[in-house]
Amino acid sequence: MNQDARPPIPEPGTVADIEAGDPHGDLLELEAGRLVILRVEQLGADIALRLTGPGTDGGIEADSPTGDWDAEELAFVTPQRGIY
């Protein structure tokens, strides 16, 4: 992937309006062995998290039964360097 074509990496606390049924994604370039914790506050929308990248065998998902007014969280250690 052309480095100039990558969207900027989101800062912690980034806010995004997500409509029902619309996927949203951000890219993270990470070294091997990095702990990644994705936490999304669900403010009236039940969402699921999915992390894809090198060594994830199709992706890692989190969709807890918290409903649409609690946090969704996914924790993962990157197995190799790459874009997730």
pLDDT in tens, 54-66: 988 888 888 878 7
Residue 68 CA to residue 51 CA, distance in Å, equals 20
Dihedral of alpha carbons 74, 77, 78, 83, sign = positive
Return the higher-pLDDT residue of 80 and 38: 80
pLDDT score of 8 more than 70: no
Mean pLDDT of 23-37: 86
More confident residue, 33 or 71: 33
Residue 33 has pLDDT above 90, yes or no: yes
Structure token pair of residue 1: 């992937």
Instruction: Evaluate if residue 32 carries a pLDDT over 60.
Output: yes
Is residue 47 within 8 A of residue 40, CB to CB? The reply is yes
